[in-house]
């Protein structure tokens, strides 16, 4: 039985409801009148139900599809302006006891090099990331209670936050770890993490159990209900995601939106972020062995429809995707990207030796952070290193309220410009700095409030004179 308010995974992610929804969308994919009704609702910027969104995803009318793409771009601008949030992943350990068939960290893989960073190495990697210009990290590690206990993660977080290097510091640490208990989530909250991120991988229970034959991750309900436990533990910002390619994309898309609806219904706070990774080759993993891979065109439409369905969420695309795909999706809803990323355990302070590779997946966009920042500005975006909402307590329902009513623009645009100024002063190449200075000078006059504009101008001058971390 489908129940969006249920705390049971198989009720808020109902297989029957998904299949009924897919049948409904297939029957109406050429129903212009119904599709127009959904588009009219989408224009309000209040979101769509999973059933409405899959109808747009399945739409076969070309001119309506063009409307979908144009509207996604418009809604993204309305909520996020031209800002793109920057981050980097930091892999702490690839020890894992699970048997996930799509991940090279699976316990049976005997060819991958197993690594775990010491706290001293965590410090070195963090400094290397600071020297690139990063302010926001996403911590990753495999599930292994012996090698990767929660205490290890907590020590890593404490270490990262404690480091002050030149003008650099990590201001927000997001965490991607396996499903755990309410008490453990409470400890992560007390450690002042930003967003707790956990990908579902696939919402199809039967497929899920086949792809996770061994280990704690085999338990579908325990995994799927993890975000509920995280929010019960005090974590206000959670991130969702599926790994497209493991199951039919229509099923995954519908399940993903049902999960977002559940969080919104129960906690009045939907997902802070939604990630859209596709399965990629890796050590011991051949992506072509999975038959549900999706084309770039389908990928683009999925992203656009997520933006229409969940207009407030931050949509993340990683370096799994190449520059061309990332550029396309930026226009359709993506608001956060990684830059200069490594998917190995460490690898920022010193490159990994060829005979000690530990990557989780092949990186398609191998550009440096500076190259990515330069590229974004050339496209007219403002690369943002801002973490101010987190630092000012604008999280959970407070953040969502400000975002949904448009007030977040009053601080985010200015904060983005000030953090970009920090980047141009401390880390940018001469070419990138010149582009950044020009972009900032063009953007400051667009700040609507004269009072805010004056403060920003004053702060930008102070940053140029060596002061750091101004925020609204």
pLDDT tens for 17-74 read 999 999 999 999 999 999 999 999 999 999 999 999 999 999 999 999 999 999 999 9
Q: Is 444 within 8 Å of 457 (Cβ atoms)?
A: yes
H helices of 322-387, in order, are: 323-330, 369-378
Q: What percent of the chain has pLDDT over 90?
A: 86
Q: What is the DSSP letter of 106?
A: S
Range of the domain at 49: 13-76
Q: What total number of domains does the chain contain?
A: 3
Structural domain contains residue 375:
no
Structure tokens belonging to residue 27 = 């029957």
* Last residue within a domain, chosen from 76, 104, 123: 76
- 62 and 127 in a single domain? The answer is no
Q: What is the pLDDT of residues 224-282, one digit of tens each?
A: 999 999 999 999 999 999 999 999 999 999 999 999 999 999 999 999 999 999 988 77
239 lies in the same domain as 314: yes
* pTM (2 d.p.): 0.95
**Angle, CA 146 vertex, CA 144 and CA 151 arms, to 5°:** 90
**Tens of pLDDT along 415-445?**
999 999 999 999 999 999 999 999 999 999 9
- Residues near 306 by beta carbon (within 8 Å), at least 6 away in sequence: 53, 253, 256, 257, 274, 276, 313, 315, 333
- 265 and 299 co-located in one domain: yes
Cα dihedral across residues 128, 132, 133, 136: positive or negative: negative
Answer whether 315's CB lies under 8 Å from 273's CB.
Answer: yes
The runs of H, that is alpha helices, within 212-337 are 220-224, 226-232, 249-267, 296-309, 323-330
Query: pLDDT tens for residues 453-469?
Result: 999 999 999 999 999 98
**Is 386 a member of any domain?**
no
> Is the pLDDT higher at 393 or at 309?
309
2-5-11 Cα angle (round to 5): 30
Helix (H, G, I), strand (E, B) or coil at 59: coil
Kindly state whether residue 470 falls inside one of the protein's structural domains.
no
Q: Using the 3D structure, point to which of 76, 104, 129 is the last residue of a domain.
A: 76
The β-bridge partners of 282 are 285
Residue 461: partners with Cβ closer than 8 Å, 6 or more residues away: none
> Could you count the other beta carbons within 10 Å of the beta carbon of residue 1?
9
Q: Tell whether 176 and 212 lie within a shared domain.
A: yes
Instruction: Answer yes or no: do 52 and 117 share one domain.
Output: no
From CA 167, how far away is CA 467, in angstroms rounded?
A: 9
Same domain, 152 and 34: no
In a domain, 26, yes or no: yes
Q: Which of 313, 335, 366 is the last residue of a domain?
A: 366
Residues 258 and 358 in one domain: yes
Strand partners, 382: 83
At residue 407, the pLDDT reads 64
Residues 288 and 416 in one domain: no
Report which of 377, 382, 366 is spatially closest to residue 320, judged by C-alpha positions.
366
| 378, part of any domain | no
For the chain, the first-to-last Cα distance in angstroms comes to: 46
pLDDT tens-digit map of 141-186: 999 999 999 999 999 999 999 999 999 999 999 999 999 999 999 9
Q: How far is it, in rounded angstroms, from Cα 228 to Cα 222? A: 10
Examine residue 166 and state whether it is found in any structural domain, yes or no: yes
CATH number, domain with residue 203: 3.20.20.70
Same domain, 225 and 321: yes
Is residue 307 domain-shared with residue 179, that is, in the same domain?
yes
Chain position carrying tokens 């930008």: 460
Buried b (16+ CB within 10 A) or exposed e, 62-79: eebbebbbebbbebbeeb
For residues 141 and 35, membership in a common domain is answered with no
Residue of 376, 378, 403, 465 lying closest to 76 (CA atoms): 403
Same domain, 88 and 40: no
């Amino acid at each position: 039985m489908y129940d969006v308010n249920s705390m049971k995974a198989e009720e808020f992610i109902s297989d029957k409801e998904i299949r009924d929804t897919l049948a409904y969308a297939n029957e109406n994919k050429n129903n212009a009148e119904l599709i127009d009704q959904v588009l009219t609702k989408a224009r309000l910027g209040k979101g769509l139900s999973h059933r409405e969104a899959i109808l747009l995803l399945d739409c076969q009318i070309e001119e309506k599809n063009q409307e979908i793409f144009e509207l996604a771009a418009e809604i993204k601008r309305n909520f996020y302006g031209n800002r793109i949030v920057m981050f980097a992943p930091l892999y702490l350990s690839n020890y894992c006891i699970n048997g996930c068939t799509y991940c090279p960290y699976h316990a049976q893989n005997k060819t991958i090099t197993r690594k775990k960073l010491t706290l001293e190495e965590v410090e070195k990697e963090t400094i290397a990331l600071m020297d690139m210009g990063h302010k926001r990290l996403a911590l990753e590690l495999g599930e292994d209670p012996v090698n990767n206990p929660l205490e290890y993660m907590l020590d890593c977080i404490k270490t990262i936050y404690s480091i002050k290097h030149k003008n650099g510091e990590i201001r927000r640490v997001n965490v991607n770890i396996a499903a755990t208990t309410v008490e453990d989530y409470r400890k992560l909250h007390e450690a002042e993490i930003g967003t707790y991120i956990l990908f579902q991988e696939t919402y199809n229970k039967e497929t899920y159990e086949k792809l996770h034959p061994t280990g704690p991750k085999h338990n579908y309900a325990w995994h799927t209900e993890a975000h509920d436990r995280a929010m019960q533990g005090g974590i206000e910002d959670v991130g969702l995601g599926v790994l497209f390619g493991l199951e039919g994309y229509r099923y995954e898309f519908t399940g993903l939106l049902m999960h977002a609806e559940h969080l919104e219904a129960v906690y009045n706070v939907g997902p802070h972020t939604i990630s859209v990774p596709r399965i990629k080759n890796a050590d011991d993993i051949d992506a072509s062995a999975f038959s549900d891979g999706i084309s770039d065109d389908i990928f683009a439409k999925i992203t656009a429809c997520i933006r229409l369905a969940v207009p407030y969420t931050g949509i993340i695309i990683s370096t799994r995707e190449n520059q061309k795909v990332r550029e396309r999706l930026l226009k359709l809803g993506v608001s956060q990207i990684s830059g200069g990323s490594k998917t190995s355990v460490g690898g920022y302070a010193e490159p990994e030796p060829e005979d000690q590779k530990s990557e989780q997946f092949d990186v398609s966009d191998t550009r440096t952070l500076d190259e990515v920042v330069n590229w974004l500005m050339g496209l007219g975006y403002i690369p943002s290193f801002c973490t101010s909402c987190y630092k000012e307590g604008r999280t959970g329902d407070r953040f969502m309220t400000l975002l949904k009513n448009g007030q977040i623009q009053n601080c985010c645009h200015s904060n983005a410009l000030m953090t970009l100024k920090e980047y141009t002063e401390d880390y940018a190449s001469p070419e990138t700095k010149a582009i950044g200075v020009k972009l900032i000078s063009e953007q400051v006059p667009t700040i609507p409030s004269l009072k805010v504009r004056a403060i920003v101008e004053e702060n930008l001058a102070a940053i140029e004179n060596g002061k750091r971390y101004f925020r609204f």
